[in-house]
């Protein structure tokens, strides 16, 4: 199985700050990576797919980049509504696997 | 697009349960569908996938115990859970495949396995 290692486990950011979350795959996943945001008591919401494609309706302050085994999610200007837990997920091979999550809070 | 799960509940170890996911707002038969679960306070755990042509894939932890199926005439996805274990306790989500990701998720249904 492809292992997804996500970092950091948690972070706090000020309003307007740029935030970056990292995800490393145990093998090359050829940009088959998605990012999700999950808020308490809610189901996950797709933010990015194909490593860098912004899902419809997602604010443009979210962006994804990377290739091979290293990927990142960037929030260019932290907003209050961006608090939540963020997960990466590889969709190249079954079983699909998720990172352990990054809890993002407002400082 | 709307996905609505049902069928969860409290069940004893070794027993069975069948989850349903009712889909609307899109051409259900054209999409692959997933089940994902999340144990309380934990991360996301992929469970199973069924393609638009009904090919299936399972996580090792559920292979031989769970069965994913679909009824395109009813726009409904199913997950049959047999031989349940305490470690199967989780919120179960259905989700629609979108390239390498999952673009629409249901609200989730809780399955609790306990005596």
| CA–CA gap between residue A38 and residue A85 (Å, rounded) | 5
Burial tier of A56 (Cβ tally within 10 Å: 0-12, 13-18, 19+): exposed
Please, which pLDDT band fits residue B41 given cuts at 50, 70 and 90? very high
* Averaged pLDDT, A31-43: 97
- Cβ of A34 within 8 Å of Cβ of B106? The answer is no
Q: Which residues have CB under 8 Å from B40's CB, separation 6+?
A: B89, B90, B91
pLDDT, position A38: 98
**CB-based contact, A49 to chain B, within 8 Å:** yes
- Chain A residues with CB inside 8 Å of B49's CB? 94, 96
- Give yes or no for residue A56 having a pLDDT over 90: yes
- What's the rounded mean pLDDT across residues A42-51? 98
Q: Which of the residues B44, B55, B60, B94 would you substitute to probe the A interface, choosing the one with the greatest number of A C-beta atoms within 10 Å?
A: B44
For the segment A6-27, the average pLDDT, to the nearest whole number, is 97
The pLDDT score that the predictor gives to residue B56 is 98
pLDDT digits (tens, 9 = 90+) for B43-94: 999 999 999 999 999 999 999 999 999 999 999 999 999 999 999 999 999 9
> Per-residue confidence at B100, pLDDT binned at 50, 70, 90?
confident
Q: Do B100 and A44 touch (CB under 8 A)?
A: no
């Amino acid at each position: 199985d492809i292992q997804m290692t996500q970092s950091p486990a948690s972070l706090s950011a000020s309003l307007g700050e740029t935030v970056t979350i990292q995800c490393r795959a145990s093998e090359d996943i050829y940009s088959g990576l998605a990012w999700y945001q999950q808020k308490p008591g809610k189901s996950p919401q797709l933010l990015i797919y194909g490593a860098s494609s912004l899902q419809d309706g997602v604010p443009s302050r979210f962006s994804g980049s990377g290739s091979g085994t290293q990927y990142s999610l960037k929030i260019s200007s932290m907003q209050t509504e961006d608090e939540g837990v963020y997960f990466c997920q590889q969709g190249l091979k079954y079983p699909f696997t998720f990172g352990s999550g990054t809890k993002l809070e407002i400082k | 697009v709307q996905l609505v799960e049902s069928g969860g509940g409290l069940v004893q170890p070794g027993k069975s349960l069948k989850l349903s996911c009712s889909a609307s707002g899109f051409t259900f038969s054209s999409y692959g569908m997933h089940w994902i679960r999340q144990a309380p306070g934990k991360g996301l755990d992929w469970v199973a996938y069924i393609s638009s042509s009904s090919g299936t894939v399972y996580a090792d932890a559920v292979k031989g115990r769970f069965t994913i199926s679909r009824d395109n005439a009813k726009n409904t996805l199913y997950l049959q859970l047999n031989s349940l274990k305490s470690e199967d306790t989780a919120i179960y989500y259905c989700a629609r495949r979108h390239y390498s990701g999952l673009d629409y998720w249901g609200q989730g249904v809780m399955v609790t396995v306990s005596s």
